[in-house]
Amino acid sequence: MINLKKYYSTQSFDTRSVINILVILLSMIFFAAVFSQGVFLQQKNLINLLMQNAALIIITLGQLLVIVTMGIDLSVGAVMAVSSVLMVLFQDFGVVGSIVAALGGALIFGVVNGALVTFIRLPAFVVTMATMQIGYSVAKLLSDAAGSRGGTVYTSLGGMELPTLYSEFYKGNLWGAPLPILVSFGFLILIALYLKTKNGHFIYPVGGNEKTAFLSGVPVWKVKMAVYMLSSVLAGVAGIIFVSRVGLGDPQAGGPWIALDSIAAASIGGASLSGGLGTVLGTFFGVIILGVLNNIMNLLGVPPTLQPAIKGLVILIAVYLNTRRKMN
């Protein structure tokens, strides 16, 4: 049985777990810096690292919320794809209109996921596996309807160039800090703040023991609906960032592994798939660990054929270290 008070006071910022992850990250950075002879630590490389992972950071934040409630969201990649296609299809409605369309489409997936998991009590894995298939299919159908045969939706489709504002966003910067990085950090702070609010904080007792949480008066359904909706909307934001980066909508935006990557990153960051555990800071480190790993492997010229195996090993080792900590 859980102690609600304990969850309230400690779980959102579990210092020990964050330190554990930080040790892994720092040793990786040290390794990278030494073996790349300093190239890794150059400002350009670090900014690149954060730029490449801006979308994944945002997606993984949503994944974190869902995982803490003992759920899982396999549909994030598909939602990102739908959002990117909608963004381009609605380009005639201006920047605001297309963003609203992209996020609105994403939100529909979140509502469906949340309702099926919360009210009909279907297992999250199956629900989001199904909506993942539906999402990728819808993204292809939408781009098919736009005349691009289920492929990428080019921005010239409506007879219009993609408003340069999009690409300006991706390349833009504020006081020297690139905007996508600022946006991803903004969401990090937003979600951390959300977890400090009452509703946000309730995800820990819900994930720790749903029944006890319900009996102690936690509005379980609100909490669960909120996390699935947030997860989808955040995936929608990632879709928008994708469009601003590559300048087109793609039914395969983010690649087929992005949902699994986000789950791996959250797990590395200390979130437990059996619910109730996970922090925003840990999640950030989790994404960065995966990002640094990719970055090192490229800098050191590790053949791309070997990279998936190394990544798999690192995921296993990192999560193993986390679970050892939980046993103590």
Q: Considering the complex, what minimum distance in angstroms separates the CB of residue 317 from another protein?
A: 9
CB of 148 closer than 8 Å to CB of 157: yes
CB of 109 closer than 8 Å to CB of 131: yes
Give ∠ CA 13-66-229 in degrees, rounded to 5.
120
Q: Does 309 bind another protein (CB under 8 A)?
A: yes
Per-residue exposure over 233-248, b if at least 16 CB sit within 10 Å of its own CB, e if not: bbbbbbbbbbbbbebb
* 302 Cβ contact partners less than 8 Å away, ≥ 6 residues apart: 296, 310
Tokens of 3: 């102690």
Tokens of 315: 């995921």
CB of 207 closer than 8 Å to CB of 68: yes
Q: Considering the complex, what minimum distance in angstroms separates the CB of residue 38 from another protein?
A: 28
Selected range binding another protein among 20-28, 173-181, 217-225, 268-276, rule: CB under 8 A: 268-276
Would you say 99 or 117 has its CB closer to another protein? Answer: 117
Q: Does 308 bind another protein (CB under 8 A)?
A: yes
Q: Does 122 bind another protein (CB under 8 A)?
A: yes
Among 120, 175, 197, 198, binds another protein (CB under 8 A): 120
Instruction: Provide the β-strand partners of residue 178.
Output: 173
Give ∠ CA 316-317-323 in degrees, rounded to 5.
90
Q: Give me the amino acid identity at 56.
A: L
Among 44, 175, 304, 328, binds another protein (CB under 8 A): 304
Q: How many CA atoms lie within 13 A of 314 on its CB side?
A: 27
Would you say 199 or 323 has its CB closer to another protein? Answer: 323
Would you say 99 or 287 has its CB closer to another protein? Answer: 287
Q: Considering the complex, what minimum distance in angstroms separates the CB of residue 269 from another protein?
A: 12
Q: Considering the complex, what minimum distance in angstroms separates the CB of residue 319 from another protein?
A: 5
Q: Considering the complex, what minimum distance in angstroms separates the CB of residue 126 from another protein?
A: 5
Among 37, 43, 197, 305, binds another protein (CB under 8 A): 305
Q: Does 10 bind another protein (CB under 8 A)?
A: no
Q: Considering the complex, what minimum distance in angstroms separates the CB of residue 28 from another protein?
A: 17
Chain centroid, CA 270 distance in Å: 15
Q: Does 108 bind another protein (CB under 8 A)?
A: no
CB of 53 closer than 8 Å to CB of 288: yes
Q: Considering the complex, what minimum distance in angstroms separates the CB of residue 17 from another protein?
A: 14
Would you say 171 or 326 has its CB closer to another protein? Answer: 326
CA separation for the pair 82, 98 (Å, rounded) = 12
- Footprint (CB under 8 A) of another protein, residues 126-165: 126-127, 129-138, 140-141, 144, 150
Contact residues for another protein, defined by CB under 8 A: 72, 116, 120-123, 125-127, 129-138, 140-141, 144, 150, 256, 260, 263-264, 267, 272-274, 303-313, 315-316, 319-320, 323-324, 326-327
